[in-house]
Amino acid sequence: MHTDIHLMGNPGANEKILSYNDVVLRQSDMDILSGPYFLNDQIIEFYFSYLSSCYPAQEILLVPPSIAFWIMNCPAVESLKDFVEPLHLPDKKLVIFPVNDNEDVCKAEAGSHWSLLAFERNANVFVHHDSNRGINDWHARRLYKAVVGYIGASDSASTASYLECTDSPQQVNGYDCGLYVTAIAKAICSWHNSGEDKEGDGMWFSSVKEQVTPSSVVEMRSDILSLIRSLIGHEVKPAPLQNEGMKD
């Protein structure tokens, strides 16, 4: 996968500092990562784009937050069909969606919680990972209902089921939900790429529990910050593709 990187000028709070693929980051995004703050759409979209560069297989799709939000809130079925078809969902074996609890389509970044919905084709299931006791379950189910009909073959509706992962790693504060989304997405992609048996009932659950801990999530905040700085410095170092783990 070709990665486009463009550097920006001297940054003020809202000035652009990096353009990575289709994602533009500003100094304010760096400020968010530097402190204990709730991640915004841009940071999650950036990290999903980076994971896509690390795992470039066409069978994996990490959906940007803005697209996931529109799928969940699109008012017209025909518009949704036109919007979803370019994603080529029937061709994907693994699809990861960020879920946000914002319900106001007129107000950007109005939500207060992130979670993750992942589709795995071999098991034919959507799994919802929520780091705050499943409070986004309604929103995740809404996204599932909106997209499930487009996951299967074009001539038939998908029979994929929905599963709330009740054993998902839990955040220990009120602002790290977005980091749990990025950490869980990384663990799932690593599991998918590892060559492990995809037919078993356990899927990626043990990998997520082992790799996503409160301490590894704290590290992820600084890791993403360091990644951005390295990209600004032209030091692009994609993560290892196999036996990838996160430090505790």
- Kindly tell me if the per-residue pLDDT of 233 is higher than 70: yes
pTM confidence score: 0.88
Return the SS3 of 141.
Answer: helix
Instruction: Give pLDDT, residue 3.
Output: 61
User: Among the listed ranges 85-89, 144-148, 152-156, which one has the minimum average pLDDT value?
Assistant: 152-156
Distance (Å, whole) CA 159 – CA 150: 11
Instruction: Give pLDDT, residue 246.
Output: 44
Dihedral, CA of residue 192, residue 198, residue 202 and residue 207, to nearest 10? -20
**Taking residues 15-34, what's their average pLDDT?**
95
CA neighbor of 51 nearest in space, from 164, 192, 171, 175: 192
Q: In this structure, are residues 128 and 116 in contact, taking their beta carbons and an 8 Å threshold?
A: yes
Q: What is the pLDDT of residues 36-83, one digit of tens each?
A: 999 999 999 999 999 999 998 899 999 999 999 999 999 888 889 999
Distance (Å, whole) CA 165 – CA 125: 11
Q: What is the pLDDT of residues 186-197, one digit of tens each?
A: 999 999 999 766
What is the DSSP-derived secondary structure letter of residue 10? S
Q: Hey, what amino acid is at 220?
A: M
Residues β-bridged to residue 20: 5, 23
Percent with pLDDT over 90 in the chain? 73
Q: What is the pLDDT of residues 91-150, one digit of tens each?
A: 999 999 999 999 876 666 678 999 999 999 999 999 999 999 999 999 999 999 999 999
Q: Which residues contact 154 (CB under 8 A, 6 or more apart)?
A: 90
Instruction: Give pLDDT, residue 99.
Output: 98
Q: What is the pLDDT of residues 192-221, one digit of tens each?
A: 999 766 655 679 999 999 999 999 999 999
Instruction: Give pLDDT, residue 245.
Output: 46
CATH topology of domain 41-213: Adenoviral Proteinase; Chain (3.40.395)
Q: Name the band, by pLDDT with cuts 50, 70 and 90, for residue 226.
A: very high
Distance (Å, whole) CA 99 – CA 139: 7
Give one DSSP letter per residue of 212-234, joined into a string: --HHHHHHHHHHHHHHHHHHHTT
Distance (Å, whole) CA 126 – CA 140: 10
**157: burial class by Cβ within 10 Å (0-12, 13-18, 19+)?**
exposed
Rg (CA), the chain: 17
Q: In this structure, are residues 144 and 68 in contact, taking their beta carbons and an 8 Å threshold?
A: no
